[in-house]
């Protein structure tokens, strides 16, 4: 007897990952994912996941076969050459963990590099895991550079398979066409399969997009905790965030041009946040102001002189 087509697809896609152990997550558990390699301004998604793994009990549940998913020549892993021999290799890993939040609640956490190849098979593999482990809500984390000031609270763009999941969030954008990424396809395919999925993209000041910016990671975790009900170690990120913010404020204070840019962004931000019917950020007149790259270069030079951004 021929197997149904859907069964064949699932069998093939299961070859993308290996189950290491069965989780103890309850029915309706949360799955959080953050994939590096697309846009991760301020490394917010990476920092958020690294912070969770550093501060929460966790164990490996499943591992993906990265040899099938990555193009090594487009993102060459680092290797260490030491006095005539290869001494180390930073092997890329795409791993599904079971973690326990601060209250002991089990949830799933998927992290690693965004697949370069086989997006549809990867998205279907995630769907299989969602269904196998009875996941009730899947939440993706990301970050984009935006024309917002670092002196205001972090804002996010929320998206979901059902509008009800993000009913309390402001719509920053209307319809647009943008380059796709594997995380977005995962959410899209989960929605088509009838599963609840959503995500947050934190808005990182465009002039800080190329440095580690813990405040944006803290913002991501705050929104994740608010919507998922998970108890997360958000306050533990505050010292690193405050340290980097202090360094940024010191650098901005040294440059009248940077102060002018920040003041302009503050005025725009306050105007937008004060008008609830506005659906997007206005365009910025930057003709007479330094570019985001110029400010970023100034800040990177300053932070390098100070020993770099705060390390976690």
Which two tokens mark 66?
């990265």
Q: Contact 43/213 with Cβ under 8 angstroms?
A: yes
What DSSP string describes 191-216?
Answer: HHTT--EEEEEEEEEGGGTTS--HHH
- The dihedral built from the CA positions of residue 301, 306, 307 and 311, taken in this order, carries a sign that is negative
Domains and CATH numbers, the chain: 5-236 (3.40.50.10900)
- The tens place of each residue's pLDDT in the chain, 312 residues long, gives 444 444 444 555 668 999 999 999 999 999 999 999 888 999 999 999 999 999 999 999 999 999 999 999 998 999 999 999 999 999 999 999 999 999 999 999 999 999 999 999 999 999 999 999 999 999 999 999 999 999 999 999 999 999 999 998 888 777 888 889 999 999 999 999 999 999 999 999 999 999 999 999 999 999 999 999 999 999 999 999 999 999 999 999 998 988 999 999 999 899 888 764 444 443 333 343 455 555 556 555 555 554 444 443
Q: Which two tokens stand for residue 98?
A: 């079971």
């Amino acid at each position: 007897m021929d197997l149904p087509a859907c069964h064949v697809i699932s069998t093939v896609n299961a070859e993308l990952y290996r189950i290491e152990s069965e989780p103890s997550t309850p029915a309706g558990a949360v799955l959080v994912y953050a994939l590096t390699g697309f846009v991760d301004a301020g490394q917010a998604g990476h920092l958020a996941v690294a912070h969770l793994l550093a501060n929460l009990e966790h164990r490996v549940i499943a591992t993906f076969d990265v040899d099938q998913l990555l193009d090594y020549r487009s993102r060459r892993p680092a290797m260490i050459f030491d006095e005539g021999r290869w001494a180390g290799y930073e092997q890329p890993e795409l791993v599904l963990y079971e973690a326990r939040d601060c209250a002991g609640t089990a949830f799933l956490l998927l992290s690693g590099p965004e697949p370069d190849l086989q997006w549809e098979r990867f998205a279907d593999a995630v769907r299989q895991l969602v269904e196998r482990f009875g996941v009730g809500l899947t939440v993706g984390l990301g970050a984009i550079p935006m024309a917002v000031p670092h002196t205001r609270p972090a804002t996010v763009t929320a998206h979901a398979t059902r509008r009800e999941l993000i009913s309390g969030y402001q719509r920053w954008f209307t319809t647009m066409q943008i380059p796709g990424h594997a995380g977005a396809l995962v959410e899209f395919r989960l929605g088509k399969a009838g599963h609840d999925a959503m995500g947050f993209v934190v808005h990182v000041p465009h002039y800080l997009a190329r440095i580690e910016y813990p405040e944006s990671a803290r913002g991501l975790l705050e929104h994740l905790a608010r919507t998922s009900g998970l108890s997360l170690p958000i306050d533990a990120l505050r010292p690193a965030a405050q340290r980097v913010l202090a360094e940024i404020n010191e650098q901005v204070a040294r440059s009248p041009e940077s102060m002018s840019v920040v003041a302009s962004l503050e005025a725009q931000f306050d105007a937008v946040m004060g008008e609830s019917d506005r659906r997007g950020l206005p365009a910025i007149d930057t003709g007479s102001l330094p570019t985001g790259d110029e400010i970023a270069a100034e800040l990177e030079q300053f932070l390098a002189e100070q020993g770099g951004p705060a390390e976690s």
